[in-house]
Structure 1
């Protein structure tokens, strides 16, 4: 054990000597928002509000990035992005100062097409309870290696969050620091190193195999306005005739992150997902369903279920997180059945997951 610890510390010291220290200036960064050069508690850095800064180097894939951060009291979400492809597609880690010590004080979140996804990704490997100081400097370190990463808050020897699997492709990109709130956040002492195999100390877990009956392959329609579905109890034929479709594969958990191929907009907040379920006889099968934010389930064109699991829909504490919270009993005829599920989104994560545990007598295909 001592030998392993010594080896890790030796490797880390070697990596540290090769770090690039980057001053907060326009030669190295692109500034978007309100950025002011300041020295606070003896450290020269920046005050950032309502914006982000982007490192001009766009080749960071694996390595270690570090900086100091000073947070203040309030409800806001300052953080860091890495492997940034553009302003709408990147990996992110952010803090919730108002939730210090709670299970979601620290959050990893992939961003696709500008869409947040914290309602889909939470718990082990995505969020963590950590307590950090306010109004004084806290050191942040993030180590990234292929599909894994770990986040250190204050303590340099023990990761506060181990990210078992990053959700975006491991393409090189920029690094960003962000604070979209008017509440002040300070940053100082930014440095990073690019390395194929940076040392990581966390206990990483392999992605579990899918539960029996998990539906992994879906067809997903182009986006449309949710209002086109109301108040009919059937799928509007005019809408159905206009749809085009793409195939999308779910994660092993069954999570289908619709933002991977769908861009949320004011008049484009809904998609249909669909399957063909071929039954060898007339029978009823249970569908375990998770979604964010709202769902309408149609069997052979007729509405059989409608539900909402959006932020605050159950009670004032419900965050709208997605899980297998709902069940629908599908009345299937003999032969092919069309299962269409409309998923509508407000914010926080656009997703679906489904399990038909008992698939006796069924053939399911997208």
Structure 2
């Protein structure tokens, strides 16, 4: 009897969350791009390409978002944004129908200053392999609560993607349906509900602790043009004098998403990150690091390393995702040393991470 009552209670709780049905009209949405009414396989909605729809309600924080959509095999990235502060800052979940069944068939990324970040956030909690029918209606349901979310795609019995930790600070914002490609995506039956207790079904994992030796904070400069470093093997002094600095804490992974700090734009595609390392004697230490997209490493003003991880720069399958894949051996003098890393970005994620596993005899400050 207790089990029956419990099941009934869960059922009542689930259906007690009232959904607001929203028609696709200008009184409820702000439109950009190419949009027109459409009826497809028994459902009436809209066709959207090269644009987005912005729900006029700007108060969504936690709750449920549901809609139907159609997808084709084309290479494009339609999806749903939420907690949108403005068109350049929001949480984003998108589908990659050309990657059906692959580990990145669906992805979550935070958008800061209009910059993608999939090269920084990938794998468990950010992307996964799913399948769903093409050229048919597919039901999408998104559950959001504070820093956690679940995404259901076609199969409502279990989440297709469990997002363990949303990266943006939870704030009220708008909902956005997005399709920036010149390929038609249909949307129908949009509804949403605001609730602090959406009926999650997935298993959420706590954030992993930092690895040994992870550098937890850096000094970060303002932006400048990467070209200023082209013809020098040392840091140009006229550039160094123009830099301003702030101390920035990393995520537990060691990553700093530099787009949180500065906006990528023409002539402003590079940032310096800096560490001050005090050594008790002359010695060599290994610095392991990851970056996106390009890096130059300077020790005490002299260039000692350069690397490139731009998307497809190594072969057509190379994604340019960040990780502790590179290392440099720091020739440290006794006393104070400065390690500067110039990080330049094209697209896909602007970030840096580093760790010094052996810190014996060192004092490290950002």
Q: Same fold (TM over 0.5)?
A: yes
Deviations 1:108-130 (CA, angstroms, capped at 9, x unpaired): 01000000000000000000100
What are the residue-to-residue correspondences of 1:204-219 with 2, within 5 Å? 204-219=204-219
Residue number in structure 1 paired with 2:198? 198
Change (3 A) 1:364 1:155: same
What is the alpha-carbon distance in structure 2 between the residues aligned to residue 305 and residue 20 of structure 1?
56
Q: Matches of 1:313 and 1:276 in 2, distance apart? A: 32
Distance 1:279 1:209 in 2: 26
When structure 1 is superposed on structure 2, of 315-324 and 58-67 the one drifting more is: 315-324
2:302 and 2:73 map into 1 onto residues whose CA distance is 50
Extract structure 1 runs of 4+ deviating beyond 2 A: 1-11
Residue 339 of structure 2 aligns with which residue? 339
Deviation at residue 198 of structure 1 after TM alignment = 1.4
Structure 2 unaligned spans of 5+ = none
Structure 2 length-normalised TM: 0.98
How far apart are 1:2 and its partner, in Å? 6.3
**Counterpart residue number, 1:147:** 147
Structure 2 CA distance for aligned equivalents of residues 239 and 134 of structure 1: 52
The residue that corresponds to 2:252 in the other structure is 252
Note the alpha carbon deviations across 1:178-219, whole angstroms, 9 max, x for none: 000011100000000001121211100000110111001011
Backbone CA RMSD of aligned residues: 1.2
Instruction: Give the secondary-structure state (helix, strand or coil) at the position aligned to 1:228.
Output: helix
Distance change in 2, residues 1:5/1:72 (3 Å): farther
For residues 325 and 5 of structure 1, do their structure 2 counterparts lie closer, same or farther at Cα, with a shift above 3 Å needed? farther
Residue correspondences, number:
364
Unaligned 5+ runs, structure 1: none
Query: Which whole-Å CA distance do the structure 1 matches of 2:327 and 2:14 have between them?
Result: 49
Distance verdict in 2 for CA 1:77–1:150, change over 3 Å: same
3-state SS in 1 of match to 2:171: coil
Per-residue deviation, 1:349? 0.2
- Look up the match of 1:12: 14
Q: Distance in 2 between matches of 1:171 and 1:247?
A: 24
Q: How far, CA to CA, are the matches of 1:355 and 1:169 in structure 2?
A: 26
User: 2:59 corresponds to which residue?
Assistant: 59
Equivalent residue number for residue 25 of structure 1: 25
Distance 2:316 2:111 in 1: 26
Residue number in structure 2 paired with 1:171: 171
What pairs up with 1:36-185 in 2 under 5 angstroms?
Answer: 36-185=36-185
Residue 9 of structure 1: CA displacement? 3.8
In 2: Cα distance, 1:261 partner to 1:9 partner: 44
Distance 2:78 2:301 in 1: 45
Distance, in Å, in 1 between the alignment partners of 2:38 and 2:313 is 43
